[in-house]
Amino acid sequence: MTEFNQRARYAIFKSIFRIFGLDTKRSSSDEFLEIKQVSFQSKTWSATFNDTTLEKAKVFCDIKTTLAVGVWNNISNLLFIVYGKHPEIGLYLEQKVKECHNESRRSTQTIGISKLIKEFEFKIKPIDSKEQELINLFNLKFGRFSWENYLA
């Protein structure tokens, strides 16, 4: 690849990140990663999308965009990550953006990690938690469900 082509691709890449606010891109392909973080102490564990636009919602319709939600206990203790990709996330965000536009209010959406797992089949990756402790925690927080089937 010529230096010009490399620079052009990099400029396009930078403009995508500026427009959509995505967190990272795999260098070997057109795969993107959006990272959300939530505190263990938070009342709800949700991915929050601030100032979402229709363009950003459409990015999540693409199967090449992965969403990861890290749940932290204190500043340095990452308990687990819920991650996956599903085109319906983009459709959900798009619907919510349109609702906000119709109501003339700021477009901020949330998707709970329970919904990400149950409806979008996201995986749960324990980091600083044992698998059984994490399953017990999910049962307490969200009710009985086959959480173990979603462990990565």
Any domain includes 3: no
CB 47, CB 111: distance < 8 Å: yes
Does the structure show a pLDDT above 60 at 149?
Answer: yes
- Its pTM stands at 0.78
Any domain includes 31: yes
pLDDT at 14: 45
Pairwise CA distance, residues 18 & 95, whole Å: 23
Residues 6+ apart with CB under 8 A from 27: none
Span 23-60, pLDDT tens digits: 566 666 778 888 899 999 999 999 998 878 888 888 89
Residue 135 belongs to what H/E stretch? helix 131-142
Segments forming the whole domain that contains residue 47: 24-150
Any domain includes 7: no
Q: What one-character-per-residue DSSP string does 79-91 give?
A: EEEEEE--HHHHH
Give how many domains the chain has, as a whole number.
Answer: 1
Span 87-101, pLDDT tens digits: 999 999 999 999 888
Higher local confidence (pLDDT), 104 or 93: 93
Any domain includes 9: no
How many C-alpha atoms does 59 have within 13 Å on its Cβ side?
Answer: 21
> How remote is the C-alpha of 111 from its chain's centroid?
9
pLDDT at 16: 42
Assign residue 141 the CATH number of its domain.
3.40.210
pLDDT at 22: 56
